[in-house]
Amino acid sequence: MDMKTEDTSPPGPLDEQGFHALRDALESEHSGVRTFVVVRGGGIAFEHYRSDSTPDTLENVNSVTKSVVGLAVGIAFGERRFASLDTPIGDIIEKARDPALDERVRRITLRHLLTMTSGFECEPGAVDKCLLGACERLAGEEDRLNFILSRPMADAPGTRFRYDSHAVQLLSLAIEAVTGDTVEEYVREKLFAPLGIETSEWIADEAGHTFAGRGLMLRARDMTKLGTLMLDRGKWQGAHLVDAAFIDDAMSIHSEGGPPMQDAQYGYLWWIAPRYVFAAGFGEQFIFIARDQQTVAAATCDNTGANKDVRALFEEHVLGLDAH
């Protein structure tokens, strides 16, 4: 199947592609992997769907959402909606200029938010319902924006990586402030439509602002389109959707990273491993981009903390194919 067309027919004789062991692993009785799609040369080289999923099933990608928001920032930056990635959020979001806030908050820039170095005190493992969706507690006097901005600061902005799903919401509000559209509206027009991503869902917070930390649902094949866009440095069917320099910067190391991925460094809302770059969501939802191998893959899994070994499967059975 050509990735540039919307064809739902089977991609061909997969066993001829050398993915026998991968298919066996995915079809094992206890596999928690729902979908696994590999793209090479612009076309699908391998795909697997568990019995409860199909090519048309919308999958909950959790924090892969963050990486899509990163692309939205890149598009807006390319359109000169932002003067610089070093623009303080206080120049964009009025509440961030409140003199009652820690003065370090006013120094947080778009780049700090993209690199998870905003400086807010946070614990990546501390997840409450207000991080997962619209929340009654944040629909009153203490709205979500006030909650995010008034949290204690642990570090000066730009000095330390702290994985902070709340802080990423500031990027949603920043895009909305400069474009007049919610992130969902902006992404649908500027990214999804050109890529031919026709079906998606994306939750909003209690005030109607698109969630930036999670909440997006995509088909596995459409996830590989986002990976292919990254692989091709922002280009799709001859059109530059995202500036190539921004993509290169997004896929470059900006910090040493840390939990929840102990063995990967960090770019602009994308994780960086030695042989590939990836977007990751809770439960092992992934988009992988391996530039040297010109390979993209996407995987979605049961939304649980159980270990599915998806990165190991990708490294051994997809990247490892080049060694055979």
- In the chain the domains, ranked by start, together with CATH numbers, are 14-65+182-323 (3.40.710.10), 80-174 (no CATH)
Residue environment code for 99-123, b if the CB has 16+ CB neighbours within 10 A, otherwise e: eebeeebbbbbbbbbbbbbbbbebe
Amino acid at 149: L
Question: What phi-psi label fits residue 289: left (phi over 0), alpha (psi between -120 and 50 degrees) or beta?
Answer: beta
The answer to whether 132 and 214 are in contact (CB under 8 A) is yes
Q: Output the pLDDT for position 13.
A: 39
DSSP output for 22-79? HHHHHTSTT--EEEEEEEETTEEEEEEE-TT--TT--EE-TTHHHHHHHHHHHHHHHT
Q: What is the mean pLDDT of residues 31-55?
A: 94
pLDDT band at 8 (very low <50, low <70, confident <90, very high): very low
Taking the C-alpha atoms of residue 101 and residue 120, their distance in angstroms, rounded to an integer, is: 12
Cα–Cα dist 105/144, whole Å:
15
For the chain, the first-to-last Cα distance in angstroms comes to 25
Both tokens of 176, joined, read: 């909305």
Would you say 261 and 247 are in contact if contact means Cβ atoms under 8 Å apart? no
Q: Above 70 in pLDDT, residue 255?
A: yes
The pLDDT-based confidence of 198 (bands split at 50, 70, 90) is very high
The pLDDT, as a whole number, for residue 74 is 98
On the question of pLDDT at 240 being above 90, the answer is yes
Q: What is the pLDDT of residue 322?
A: 61
Q: Report pLDDT for 129.
A: 78
If you average pLDDT over residues 272-301, what whole number do you get? 97
**Cα-based distances in Å from 221 to 61, 196, 198, 259, 323:** 13, 11, 12, 28, 26
For residues 195-233, b (16+ Cβ closer than 10 Å) or e, as one string?
bebeebebebbbeebbbbbbbbbbbbbbbbbbbbbbbbb
The residues, ordered by sequence, that sit 6+ positions from 41 with a Cβ below 8 Å of its Cβ are 294
Indicate the helix (H) or strand (E) that contains 110: helix 110-114
Does residue 128 register a pLDDT over 80? no
CA distances 79 to 75, 129, 143, 270, 298, Å, are: 6, 35, 30, 21, 29
Give Cα separations from 320 to 12, 225, 227 (angstroms).
22, 22, 19
pTM listed for this prediction: 0.92
Percent with pLDDT over 90 in the chain: 82
Q: Which of 25-39, 130-144, 232-246 has the lowest mean pLDDT?
A: 130-144
Per-residue confidence (pLDDT) for residue 125, from 0 to 100? 67
- Is the pLDDT reported for residue 2 higher than 60? no
User: pLDDT at residue 194 above 90?
Assistant: yes
pLDDT given for residue 137 in this prediction: 85
What mean pLDDT is predicted for residues 175-201? 98
Radius of gyration over every alpha carbon of the chain, rounded to an integer in angstroms = 19
Could you read off the pLDDT of 53-111 as tens digits, one per residue? Answer: 999 999 999 999 999 999 999 999 999 999 999 999 999 999 898 888 999 999 999 99
Portion of the chain with pLDDT greater than 70, in percent: 92
